């Protein structure tokens, strides 16, 4: 069977990881990546010997890339003629402008969380609403926090039914290397409800959600605390069992040393994962508890890598590669090397 051909537009924090993730999928071909400047990521791609072809989004910028020794294989128009799906990982707002080009070349596109929801036909999550993405032209992925949050809530919802959730997001304020954010030393609070709670209800309209968000001056990983009201009672052992069975969730123990966001980052590096990436969210076993029948737990969100599997599920859905949700996510998981 012919492989589905993919371009990644915007080779930044998310784009680099999408490119690596797609390159691992045996039924997909990464035709190349698109950027517009000799960023550190583009320079690193060059120093690695150009494992992916680079195309330039702005023809006038080709000479600037070539002047610093970065080979350019063509323009964005050139690659759009060759692909079935674009994964747009440009900064917020640029995807909406790029959409006109995608329409012109008749390619499907999957946008990331920074774009407005209206950019897409469907607001998408591989586990929670795969079926809605089937055959659609434009999908938008949930943000990093919402992706992990929905993974966990959907996992419990499919077992016991979840009526409502109340969340607190402890959100890293900058990615590593984001020096433009300065040396921050504060905890900043957003008004209730956080967009993640609102977004959860868009994807899972049968669950009532609210929550607050606190920006914290760290660069690796978010932690979300969740209070979930189940339709029937469930005990701690069952909760642990269900989370443990989920290929994109790791149950970790504080007693074993997993006592922080950075312990997970370090563990991913020790596993030899590229860039210290972890696709899985982590649930801290000793932090699972109850308030009456409500389930209380906390998850770690590896913000730079968590959206990669669900974005790849999006390719499977929009290209109608698999009609069945579980068959689709299982293939993504297998090729990404998840249990």
Q: Is 12 in the site for ligand NAD (CB under 6 A)?
A: yes
Instruction: Determine how many CB atoms are found less than 10 A away from the CB of residue 66.
Output: 13
How many whole angstroms separate alpha carbon 32 and alpha carbon 105? 16
Residues 6 or more apart whose Cβ sits within 8 Å of residue 21:
308, 309, 311, 312, 336
Tell me 271's DSSP state: T
Nearest residue to ligand NAD, by Cβ distance, number only: 12
- Which of 56, 144, 155, 318 is labelled catalytic? 144
Q: Is 271 in the site for ligand NAD (CB under 6 A)?
A: no
318 is catalytic: no
Residue 138, SS3 per DSSP: strand
Q: Is 310 in the site for ligand NAD (CB under 6 A)?
A: no
Cβ(154)–Cβ(128) under 8 Å? yes
Contacts 24+ apart (CB under 8 A), 102-105: 102/138, 105/77, 105/80, 105/81
Q: Is 128 in the site for ligand NAD (CB under 6 A)?
A: no
Cβ proximity to ligand NAD: between 36 and 207 the closer is: 36
* The total number of residues written for the chain in this structure: 339
Contacts (CB under 6 A) with ligand NAD, residues 163-202: 175
Query: In this chain, which of 90, 129, 146, 332 binds ligand NAD, going by CB under 6 A?
Result: 90
Token pair belonging to 28: 């997909």
Range in contact with ligand NAD (rule: CB under 6 A) among 91-99, 207-215, 220-228, 272-280: 91-99
Q: Is 309 in the site for ligand NAD (CB under 6 A)?
A: no
Query: In this chain, which of 5, 6, 7, 11 binds ligand NAD, going by CB under 6 A?
Result: 11
Cβ proximity to ligand NAD: between 173 and 329 the closer is: 173
Q: Which residues bind ligand NAD (CB under 6 A)?
A: 9-15, 34-37, 39, 41, 57, 89-92, 94, 112-115, 143-144, 175, 303-304, 307
């Amino acid at each position: 069977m012919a492989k589905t051909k993919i371009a990644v537009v915007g080779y930044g924090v998310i784009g680099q990881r999408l490119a690596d993730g797609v390159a691992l999928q045996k039924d997909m071909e990464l035709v190349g990546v698109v950027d517009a400047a000799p960023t550190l990521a583009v320079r690193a791609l060059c120093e690695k010997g150009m494992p992916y072809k680079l195309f330039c989004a702005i023809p006038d910028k080709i000479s600037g890339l070539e002047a610093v020794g970065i080979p350019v294989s063509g323009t964005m128009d050139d690659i759009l003629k060759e692909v079935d799906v674009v994964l747009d990982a440009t900064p917020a707002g640029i995807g909406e402008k790029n959409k006109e080009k995608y329409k012109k070349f008749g390619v499907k596109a999957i946008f990331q969380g920074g774009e407005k929801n209206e950019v897409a036909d469907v607001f998408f999550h591989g586990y929670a609403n795969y079926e809605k993405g089937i055959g659609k032209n434009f999908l938008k992925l949930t943000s990093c926090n919402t992706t992990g949050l929905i993974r966990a809530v959907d996992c419990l919802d499919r077992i016991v039914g979840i009526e409502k959730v109340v969340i607190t997001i402890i959100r890293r304020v900058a990615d590593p290397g984001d020096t433009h954010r300065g040396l921050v030393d504060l905890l900043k609070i957003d008004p209730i409800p956080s967009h993640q709670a609102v977004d959860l209800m868009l994807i899972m309209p049968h669950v009532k959600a609210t929550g607050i968000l606190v920006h914290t001056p760290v660069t690796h990983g978010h932690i979300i605390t969740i209070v979930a009201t189940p339709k029937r009672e469930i005990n701690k052992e069952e909760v642990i069992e269900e989370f443990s069975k989920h290929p994109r969730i790791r149950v970790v123990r504080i007693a074993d040393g997993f006592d922080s966001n950075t312990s997970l980052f370090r563990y991913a590096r020790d596993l030899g994962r590229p860039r210290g990436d972890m696709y899985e969210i982590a649930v801290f076993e000793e932090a699972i508890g109850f308030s009456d029948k409500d389930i209380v737990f906390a998850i770690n969100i590896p913000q730079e890598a968590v959206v990669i599997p669900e974005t790849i599920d999006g390719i499977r859905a929009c290209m109608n590669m698999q009609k069945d949700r579980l068959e689709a996510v299982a293939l993504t998981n297998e090729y990404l090397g998840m249990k």
